[in-house]
Structure 1
C-alpha cells in the first residue's frame, strides 16, 4: 500500500507539469516516446536551430540513439515527458505554410516580371481605350485603330449650359502617340503596385500635338457661342398676352481653362467640359410667376376708366400692356412693376383734351416791324402726376377699375409782365445771305418760320437742332442739294446750313457767346471765311452737328427772321450794349485738290475743285463808349474740294 501511494503521488506530480492532452494522433506518438528510456545525461542534438545554432529544446530530448556527429550540449535537468515534441509541432506547421506562400508569391512575381518586361503597364487606359498589358507596338496600333477615326470628327464641347463643337483640324489639334505611351511609364517593380494593377485602371492623358495659334483662334470662336450677358427674369407682353421671361445667369468662357481642357481631353471620345465664369441674376423663377399672376394678368384683364371734368377717357388693355414693365427690386429677389406715364398720357391726352384749357406763353411778334409782346394766357388742365399716381394699384384688380383725373391751373411759363421786362427793344445783331436754289429756299423758309419769335432768356443757351426738333418730310421739309464728300448730292432738309450760317453771324454781331458750332469741311464762297456754320441730324432727328449760342446779357434776346425768294435775314433784338468788328485773316497753307473720277451719268457733276487753306477771323467786342471789352481769334482749316471728272464706263469685252 505504501508503494502504491508513493506511485500515485509521483504521477500526480508529473501530471501537474505536463502540457494539455494533445489530439489522439499526438497522444499515440507521445506514448511511444514515453516508452523509451530517459536519461539525464547530455542529450544528442537533433538538427540545428535558427541561424545554425542548437534548437532551444535540444537539451531536453533524450530518446533514441546518440548522434555521433552532433555537438554536445551542457547537462540540463530532465524535462517532463512529452513537452519538447508537442512544442516543436506547434511551431513547425504555421512556418511551413508561410514559407510555401512566400515561395509561391516570389515565383509568381518573378514570372510576372519576365513575361511583362517592356509592355505598357497593366490597367493603363488612353483616350478611353484599354492598352494595359500590351507591348508598345500593339498598343499604338490599337490606339490608331480606335482613336484616329474620331480625330477628324467635331469634338463635342460642354461650356456651362451650352453644347457646341470644335473642329479639331481647324483648331490644330493632333496626338503624339509615342510620347503618349511613353507617358504611361514602365512596368512597376513594387510588388504591391503590380498586384493592385490586376484590379484597377489608370487613365493616361494623350500627349497633344497642338498648333497654338489655331487653337487660340478656335477658343476665341467659342466665346461667341458661350458668352452671354445675364438675363433678369421679367414679364413681357405679346400684344395683350403676358409672357414670362425666366432669369438666366450670364456666363463667360474661361479662355485659359478651355484651352487647357481641349489640349488634354479633346481625343477622349467624350464631351470636353470647359470651365466658364458665371454672372448671377437678382431675380428668380418664383418672382416671375408672382409678377405674372398678381400683376401682369390682372392688368390686362380689362380697360381702366378715367373720369375727367365732364368727359371720361379709357385706357384699353393694349395701352396698359405697352406702358407696364417689370424690373428687379432694389433689394433683389422680386420684381417691381412700373407704368410709363408718358405712354399713358399719350393715350389719354387726346381723349381729355376737350376738358382742358391750353395756356400760352407770352410771345414776341414783329407784325409792325418791331418786337411786340403778345400777352400770355394761363391754362387749366390735367395734373397727370397726381392723376396717375394710384393707377398701378388699380390695374392689379379685376374689378372697380376706375380713377378720377385731377385738374390744376397752369400759369404761363413766360408771363406778359415778364416778357415786357426782358428789354427786347433794339436790334443788336443782323446778317443776310442769298443765292439759294428754289428747293433749298423752301427748307430755309420752313426753318425760318419755326425760329421766328424765339426768345432766349438771360443765361439761356439757344440750340437750333433742339428748337426745331427733327427736320424731315413730316415737318414740311423737302429734298434739296447738299455737299457730300466734296460732290453735290441731295437729301431731305438741304439748305438748312445756309440758315445756320446766317443765324451764326447775327449772333456773332450781337456779341452772343459761342456755345458750339462747326464750319463746312470745304469753303463755300458765298460765306465769309472762318465765319460760317453747318448743322446735321440723323434720320431719326437726333442731333449730330448743332449751332448753339448763349445769352450772357442781363436782358433777353428775341430772334426775328425775314425770308424772301432771294435772301434770308436774321435779326437779334435785345438791349444794345456792344459794337462788334470782324477782322478777317490771311489765307495760308494752301493744299491742292485731288481728282475724283465718277461714272458718267445724271448723278455726276464735273467740277474744277478748289484748294484747301487755313485762315482766321478775329472778333473785337467794344462797349458803346468804344472801349475794347474782349478780342477773340478763331482759326479754321478748310479741306481742298476735289476735282470731279465724269468718265464713261470702260467698254465691255467680247464674251
Structure 2
C-alpha cells in the first residue's frame, strides 16, 4: 500500500487540462477533410488551444504535401518535385496517389485511436487489482464502490498488538489511518487519459497495486503514547510466602517499555492487514530481580522439605516439645539479597510460634521484682531468674533438620538462664517509702456495698505505678460481672437510682481520687456524680461506669507509687469504710484542698412513679461547687489547680403501686 499525506483539494489533473489538448478525445462528429486543405487565417495561441481535437487530426498532411523549409529558413508553400515529374502527367498522378494513401493512413490511425479512447473511457486496466481486490474494467465510481465494499471492514477493523506479554488493540481512526479511495483508483490506472500508453494499458494490461493510505501523524503519535500508558509496566518480583504449612507462590512478571518512535511505523504498516493478525510492537523487556523460576527453585529445595513434617526438640533436662509444620511455615522469612531470593527461619518468629509448645516443658519462668506491703510497710520483693530456650539457639537447632524426613527430624537445644525484666535493683530505685496521700470514705450497711467495694479494693491493692505510668480503674478492676466477683447494687442513671451489677464501685473511685489528689499526682480523667451524694466531699469525688466513664491519673513524679486499698465492712449496726493510700517519696511539702464553696442552689421535681421497678428517692438540692488543689514547698504556694462541678437536683420520687 502507498502512504501519503492528505491530498490537496481541487479537480483531478485531467480536469485541470485545457480543453483541446492532444490528450482530449477525438470528436466523432468532426468532419474529416481529405486532400489539400484550404488556407486558413493564422490563429492566436489561445484559439489554437481551443480547437477541436478532431480538426487537429484532420489537418495532418501527407509527407509529400507538407511544407518544406528553405535553406534560409523560409517556408515554401509548394510541393518540391523534380521538374520533369512535376510537369508530366505521370508525376502529377503519382503525387495525387501518395497524398491519397497518406491521408487514408492518417484517417485510419485516427479512427483506431478514437475507437481505443472510446473503449478505454473511464475504466481501469482490465487486469487491475488493489490489495488483491479485482477492479479491472470498472469505471472509477464502480471501482471506488467495489474497493469500499471489499476493503471497508479491514480499514476500520481494530489492529491487535502485543508488547511482551501485554496485549491491546488500536482503532485505525484513533491512530489517524484511513484509505484514500480516489487516489487508490488513480494509482491503479483509473480515470480518462489521451495518452496512448494509458489507453493501451486499460485495454490490455493492469497489475495489483497497494491502496493509498493517508496517515495523520499527530493522531498516530497520540495513539502510540496512549498505548505506552496502557502497555508499559515495571518489572515485578516473584514472591514466596507461607500460610502456616501452605506454600504460596506469586509469579513474577517482566517489565515492558514500548519503543514509541518505532511503534508508529509498525502500526502503520499493519493497517489493512489480516483481521486475525497480531502485531508485535518493538519494546524493551526487563526481567524482574527475582524470577518465577528462582522462586520455584527455593520452593523445591527448601520450602517443601521445611514444612514436610513436625520437628521434635529436646530442651535439656526440661523435656521435649514438638514444632508443627504450621509453626515452621509461619516462622520462615523470604529475603532478597544481591538479586538472590533466600528462605530461612526467623529466630524471633519461631520462638513465638513455639511458645505454646515450650510452655508444656518444665521451664522456670523469671519473676520480676516488685514492691508489696508486708506488715503494713512497703517491701521490695526480689526478682527471680528462670530458665529458657533462647530464640537464636532454637532456630540454630531446628534449621539443620528441616531438609530431613521422618524420624530424622529431631533437634536438641540447651537451656539458658532467663533474667527478670525488672530487677531487684530496679525495684529499690523506685523510692517507695512513705504515704504521700490517703483518704477514707464511709458507707452505710448494705450487702452489695460490702461485696462490690471490697472486691474493687482487692483488685486495686498493691498496684505499682512506675514513673510515667497511668492508673486506670476500669483497666485494673475490669468489667463488673458476676464472674469477676460483683453483685447488683444501686447506680445513678438518667437522674434516678437503679440497680446494676457493680453498684457501689464508685465509692472506691471517689476514695482513690482523693488519695491521688492529696498525693499530688496528675489528674487525667475523672467525673463527679450527676446527683450529689452527701457521704462524698462535694465536687471532689468520682463515678465510674464500664466501659465509658473511667478514673485515670498519672504518676508524674520520678519515683514509683504503690497503691494500697482496704475495706472495713459495714454491719447492720455500723458503717463500713474504704481507705486508699499512695506510697512513694514526697515531691511537695504539702498538698491541700481549699474550701468546697457551694452556690446556685436548685430544687428538683416531685414525681410519682407507678412502674414495677420504681425506686423511691428523697429530694436533694442541686448546686455549683468550686475548689482548688494547693501545692506548697517551704511554706510557699508553688502551684494551684482549680476545679468546678455542677450538681443537678435530685427529684423526689414516690412509688405508687
CA distance in 1, matches of 2:630, 2:646: 21
Structure 1 pair 613–331 and aligned structure 2 pair: CA distance change class (3 A): farther
1:563 to 547, 561, 567: 567
Match of residue 314 from structure 1: 321
Deviations 1:525-561 (A, max 9, x none): 14334323345555xxxx9845122142x54432221
Structure 1 pair 519–417 and aligned structure 2 pair: CA distance change class (3 A): closer
Match of residue 553 from structure 2: 548
Structure 1 pair 469–438 and aligned structure 2 pair: CA distance change class (3 A): closer
Matching of residue 379 in structure 1 with residue 385 in structure 2: yes
Contact 2:58/2:107, CA 8 A, preserved across alignment: no
Structure 1 pair 413–594 and aligned structure 2 pair: CA distance change class (3 A): farther
CA distance in 2, matches of 1:358, 1:469: 26
CA distance in 2, matches of 1:574, 1:397: 58
Give the match's secondary structure for 1:533: coil
Contact 2:624/2:646, CA 8 A, preserved across alignment: yes
Structure 1 pair 43–389 and aligned structure 2 pair: CA distance change class (3 A): same
Structure 1 pair 391–93 and aligned structure 2 pair: CA distance change class (3 A): farther
CA distance in 1, matches of 2:448, 2:341: 58
Q: CA deviation at 1:437?
A: 4.7
Number of equivalenced pairs: 448
Contact 2:624/2:647, CA 8 A, preserved across alignment: yes
Q: CA deviation at 1:508?
A: 0.4
Pairs within 5 Å for 1:320-331 = 320=327, 324=331
TM-score by length of 2: 0.52
Match of residue 55 from structure 1: 56
CA distance in 2, matches of 1:43, 1:547: 133
1:93 to 115, 118, 128: 115
Pairs within 5 Å for 1:241-390 = 242=246, 244=248, 297-317=304-324, 320=327, 324=331, 339=349, 341-353=351-363, 356=364, 358-359=366-367, 361-367=369-375, 369=376, 371-382=377-388, 384-390=390-396
Contact 2:532/2:622, CA 8 A, preserved across alignment: no
CA distance in 2, matches of 1:282, 1:477: 61
Q: CA deviation at 1:504?
A: 1.5
Match of residue 450 from structure 1: 459
Deviations 1:244-267 (A, max 9, x none): 486999xxxxxxxxxxxxxxxxxx
Matching of residue 397 in structure 1 with residue 403 in structure 2: yes
Give the match's secondary structure for 1:505: helix
CA distance in 1, matches of 2:402, 2:78: 113
Match of residue 592 from structure 2: 581
Q: CA deviation at 1:37?
A: 9.8
Structure 1 pair 479–242 and aligned structure 2 pair: CA distance change class (3 A): farther
CA distance in 2, matches of 1:456, 1:571: 13
CA RMSD of aligned residues (A): 5.9
Q: CA deviation at 1:519?
A: 0.8
- Long gaps (5+) in structure 1: 1-32, 64-73, 110-122, 125-189, 196-231, 250-280, 649-655
CA distance in 2, matches of 1:483, 1:325: 55
1:500 to 506, 509, 523: 509
Pairs within 5 Å for 1:142-181 = none
Give the match's secondary structure for 2:56: coil
Give the match's secondary structure for 2:320: strand
Q: CA deviation at 1:86?
A: 5.0
- Long gaps (5+) in structure 2: 1-31, 42-46, 65-75, 81-97, 125-137, 144-151, 154-179, 186-238, 254-287, 570-575
Q: CA deviation at 1:292?
A: 6.4
CA distance in 2, matches of 1:502, 1:639: 22
Pairs within 5 Å for 1:607-646 = 615-623=625-633, 625-636=634-645
Contact 2:241/2:248, CA 8 A, preserved across alignment: yes
Contact 1:479/1:490, CA 8 A, preserved across alignment: no
Match of residue 272 from structure 1: none
CA distance in 2, matches of 1:248, 1:587: 76
Deviations 1:465-523 (A, max 9, x none): 59737557697433434545556666665544432222121010111222x11315624
Q: CA deviation at 1:327?
A: 8.1
Q: CA deviation at 1:568?
A: 1.5
CA distance in 1, matches of 2:359, 2:565: 33
Give the match's secondary structure for 2:628: strand
Structure 1 pair 386–611 and aligned structure 2 pair: CA distance change class (3 A): farther
Give the match's secondary structure for 1:352: coil
1:572 to 565, 582, 589: 582
Structure 1 pair 585–352 and aligned structure 2 pair: CA distance change class (3 A): same
Give the match's secondary structure for 2:354: helix
Pairs within 5 Å for 1:8-23 = none
Q: CA deviation at 1:235?
A: 3.4
CA distance in 2, matches of 1:288, 1:247: 8
Contact 2:441/2:578, CA 8 A, preserved across alignment: yes
CA distance in 1, matches of 2:111, 2:555: 122
CA distance in 2, matches of 1:647, 1:75: 154
Pairs within 5 Å for 1:89-168 = 89=111, 91-99=113-121
Structure 1 pair 474–502 and aligned structure 2 pair: CA distance change class (3 A): same
Q: CA deviation at 1:52?
A: 4.3
CA distance in 2, matches of 1:508, 1:346: 44
Give the match's secondary structure for 1:390: helix
